[in-house]
Amino acid sequence: MSTTRPYPPSNEDPTDHHPRALLRRLYRDEFGYDLSPAEDARVAATLASSTYGELMPAATDHLVEQLGLGPGDVFYDLGSGLGKVVLQVALRAPVRRCIGIELVRSRHRVAQRILGKVRAQAQLRAAECGFRLGDMMRARISDATVVYTCSTAFSTKFMNLLAERLARLPPGLRWVSTQDIDDNPWFRLERVLRLDMSWRRRSKVHVYRLANPALRCRRRAT
């Protein structure tokens, strides 16, 4: 993936309190590409990928609009990096909860620091917003209604494990993934969006719906 600066120059006034302008200013000198050898090893041990990329700000706004997020939604970003998507969703949508889960401590610390600065602006629309340091495969996400994964660099094996894990959540869950998933008995593809990422313009972003949860499949088999 490209290491191009994720927030290119803009005509927006950096003192503007528009969410994108606010985050551009707060993240101006923050980048998540470089990890320590220990952090790299920790990610590798989980079978995930430490390759870093981001959904672009305007694309995040478009995703929020397409999903129609509201007070009944709980949004999770699994592998939330520096927290940009989580904070932009929390600034844009009146969701019940907006949570980022990140395994890399240095990225998590940046997200926590920026969240503190955003809270000081008193602009969050989400009723609750936060970041958790941990493994996405073990984190508690049972209340999720929408899960986002910037998963382009994930292996097929890891994607299948993640699909099986998310399939244990309640029916109706929407999974937004930058990588398509193998055919399975749980998720159906609802739509494919074309959104700008930090490494490619108009990249495919897949929106899946959990139609047949894994637990239901097990009950039918018994």
108-166 pLDDT per residue, tens: 999 999 999 999 987 899 999 999 999 999 999 999 999 999 999 999 999 999 999 99
Region 167-185: what's the mean pLDDT?
97
Give the up-direction half-sphere exposure of residue 14: CA atoms within 13 A in the CB hemisphere.
9
181-209 pLDDT per residue, tens: 999 999 999 999 999 999 999 999 999 99
DSSP letters, 53-70, are: --B-HHHHHHHHHHHT--
Read off the tokens for 72: 């009944």
What is the reported pLDDT for 17?
57
The DSSP element (H or E) to which 98 belongs, if any, is strand 97-102
**CA dist 167 to 74, 80, 171, 175, 210, Å?**
16, 20, 8, 10, 7
Average pLDDT for the chain? 89
**Band of the pLDDT at 221, cuts 50, 70, 90?**
very low
Residue 14 reports pLDDT greater than 70: no
Beta strands 129-133 and 97-102 are parallel
* Residue boundaries of the structural domains of the chain: 19-221
What is the reported pLDDT for 133?
97
**Band of the pLDDT at 216, cuts 50, 70, 90?**
low
92-114 pLDDT per residue, tens: 999 999 999 999 999 999 999 99
Residue 15 reports pLDDT greater than 80: no
CATH 3.30.750.210, domain 19-221, yes or no: no
26-39 pLDDT per residue, tens: 999 998 878 888 88
49-92 pLDDT per residue, tens: 878 889 999 999 999 999 999 999 999 999 999 999 999 999 99
What is the reported pLDDT for 59?
97
